[in-house]
Amino acid sequence: MTTLRLWPEEFEALRAEARAAVEAGLELFGDLRSADEASMTTDERVAFARERLAKNVFPSPDAIARDIAGVPCRIFTPDGPPRAVYLHFHGGGMVSGTPAMMDIPNQMLAHAHSVAVVSADYRKAPEHPWPAGPDDGVAVARWLVDNAQAEFGSARLLLGGESAGGYMAAITALRIRDELGAIDRVDGCNLVFGVYDWGRSPSQRGIRPHEGPDVLSPDGIAFFTDCFLPGRSDDERRAPQISPAYADLRGLPPCLVSVGSTDHLLDDSLMFASRAAAAGVDVDLFVAPDMPHAFFAFDCGITKRWNETVADWFEARLTP
């Protein structure tokens, strides 16, 4: 019999510090949880979502802006020959956000691990509902399968993203497997607090095992879902081609799945990770106790451990 623990014993001593960091840092996310959104029209709410994320964008002057397969991308290259190409997707609920949001982490990743980073600015809902965004992800992936070696000096691929970007990475990996027949080219998926059940998992609906604060809310998640998948029932939104948690996950590359225990997307990660492991996928699961969505924004001992885990995972994937 195996005892299931979602985090190591050593994290218990770090939880008080984590809660304090979240309480102090939530002021930075105050407008993410605005009570005024309920009175807005859809257009006003979309504009508000885009404006609030734009406030926290700090573009790097070193990013190379380039269209790949008709999709705007931001690219970072290492100082020497790349060991792989990391196809990255930003967050924003499939409604907002840009690759520049993650310029600094992506630039640091490129130099720390000697990878070329390609971050795709996929199309957003409600103007472009499903499958527009995933189609853009697959278009960039197809181009990289065909051209990464000649263009960047490495044919090896890694995929990853945060929040909606975690969803984009997972669904793109599945379509690389099923449509491109090239999943052997992908060495790993870095899936950070993603959406894997668009039929609204229990935690998305507010039924969480932990009542700690979060930067997401059930109402906000439902709004993004309605924008991305309008006119569909929850069961229809759980179709395997839409929700990765309901897909056949066999044959996927190693996955690092990360989520906080107070995140309204907690159940998505737990379900995806357990189903992937049951399907024979090599899964590393990092659950950050007492930490919300976007937990890496809150500096504490637990997030330091997460940064170390991510660095070790990348090195393991990149080591021949």
Catalytic residue positions? 163, 263, 293
Interhelix angle for 15-25 vs 301-318, to 10°? 100
Residues 6+ apart with CB under 8 A from 44: none
Is 75 within 8 Å of 64 (Cβ atoms)?
A: yes
Query: CA 255 to CA 152: how far, in whole Å?
Result: 24
Own/partner contacts of 308-313, CB < 8 Å, gap of 24 or more, are 309/256, 309/258, 309/284, 310/190, 310/256, 310/258, 311/112, 311/113, 313/188, 313/190, 313/256, 313/284
Two tokens, residue 22: 């979240």
CB neighbourhood size of 250 (10 A): 11
